[in-house]
Amino acid sequence: MPCLTLALLMFAALASAQEYMEPVETWKVTEVWGNNYHGWAFHQDYEVGFTVEKQDGRFTPTDSEVAEVERLIQKRIHYINRDHVNQGGMCPVIDEHMRLYRRQYVGFTNTRGDHIVWVNYLWDENLTDEQLSEDVLLMRGGCAHYWHIKCNLTTRKVYGLEVNSEGDVQMIPRVQKPAPRVSKSKASKKQRVRKTGIIHTESEKQF
């Protein structure tokens, strides 16, 4: 009888240890570096709150995919940016200062199965690396200090350049919503933890 009791106690302790999970909201982001770029690639599960045309899903850009995106953009930005919209004077010409922008990369898939990377470029000394690694930041004003563009890795097309207008810099307001909760082993410390997910308002959802 004592042996049976001891066995039951050991089984209960083992089960308790196996079942203990620390409930947290887990978001992943990878810092990426190259010879002339520095940024953060956001995981496919991160809720950015906006879509691209004919979106069918999301994917996480790898280091090699980010490097290819940068190669394609930097090869073609001079032509794409030939009109220099919202550039000149106190506003930088973006293709002349590419290395000064920090980047944020978000991967999408479309209904054809193409892999599209939306890249956010920010030249703002007031924004810390921590801020840029925690959330996709979209700004109003500031002219060519802030811009974004898309790169279709499947077709190798670079398109959709959007440069901010002039004016005072304001962060686009975001609407908080509850994030999905997932279980993570208490022993695992490799994932970045965030407490909320956030999205844009309906009028700001399409990029």
**pLDDT at site 144:** 98
Measured CA to CA, the distance from residue 138 to residue 127 in angstroms comes to: 12
Q: Which pLDDT band holds residue 63 (cuts at 50, 70, 90)?
A: very high
Q: pTM of the full predicted structure?
A: 0.74
List pLDDT tens digits, range 173-192.
Answer: 866 544 444 444 444 444 44
List pLDDT tens digits, range 193-204.
Answer: 333 344 444 544
**pLDDT at site 173:** 82
3-class secondary structure per residue, the chain:
CHHHHHHHHHHHHHHHHHHCCEEECECCEEEEEECCEEEEEECCCCCCCCECCCEEEEECCCHHHHHHHHHHHHHHHHHHCCCCCCCECCECCHHHCHHHCEEEEEEEEECCCCEEEEEEEECCCCCCHHHHHHCCCCEECCHHHEEEEEEECCCCEEEEEEECCCCCCEECCCEEECCCCEEECCCCCCCCECCCEEECCHHHCEC
List pLDDT tens digits, range 90-127.
Answer: 999 999 999 999 999 999 999 999 999 999 999 999 99
List pLDDT tens digits, range 45-61.
Answer: 999 989 999 999 999 99
List pLDDT tens digits, range 141-155.
Answer: 999 999 999 999 999
Tokens of 105: 């990369």
Q: Which pLDDT band holds residue 7 (cuts at 50, 70, 90)?
A: low
List pLDDT tens digits, range 24-34.
Answer: 445 589 999 99
**pLDDT at site 6:** 53
Measured CA to CA, the distance from residue 71 to residue 175 in angstroms comes to: 34
Task: Tell me what percent of the residues of the chain surpass a pLDDT of 70.
Answer: 71
Phi first, then psi, for residue 33 (nearest 5°) are -130, 150
Nearest to 25 by CA among 203, 199, 177, 206: 177
Measured CA to CA, the distance from residue 78 to residue 120 in angstroms comes to: 17
On whether the CB atoms of residues 160 and 106 are closer than 8 A, the answer is no
